[in-house]
Amino acid sequence: MVFFGIALVFSRQPTRIVALMALLFSFSIEISQLYHAPWIDAIRATRLGALVLGFGFLWTDLICYSVGIAVGALIDYQLVRSAKR
């Protein structure tokens, strides 16, 4: 979802740049879950805050983000390549 959202906003960027931006965004959100100040935990207590920021850091989430972005990049690359034919 993050990959395709970034690809939509930055449609003129190459797939590898979009993938890198999606990875940086996703990893930043996941790593931010290590920080537990009262103000950010109050944001996480809301429905939208919980969906965007999450609750706790998991190494496995980084793997899932990487695989998901790789699949999105592969789909994007194939679509762009087939559109040029």
Would you state the structure tokens that stand for residue 71, as one six-digit string?
Answer: 């699949």
Over residues 19-30, the pLDDT tens digits come to 999 999 999 999
Would you state the structure tokens that stand for residue 44, as one six-digit string?
Answer: 């996480």
Q: How many CB atoms lie within 10 A of CB 26?
A: 21
On whether the pTM is more than 0.75, the answer is yes
Over residues 49-79, the pLDDT tens digits come to 998 888 889 999 999 999 999 999 999 988 8
Domains held by the chain: number: 1
What is the length of the chain? Answer: 85
Question: For tokens 């395709």, what's the residue?
Answer: 4
Residue 41 lies in domain: 2-83
- Compute the distance between CA of residue 72 and CA of residue 7 in angstroms, rounded to an integer: 10
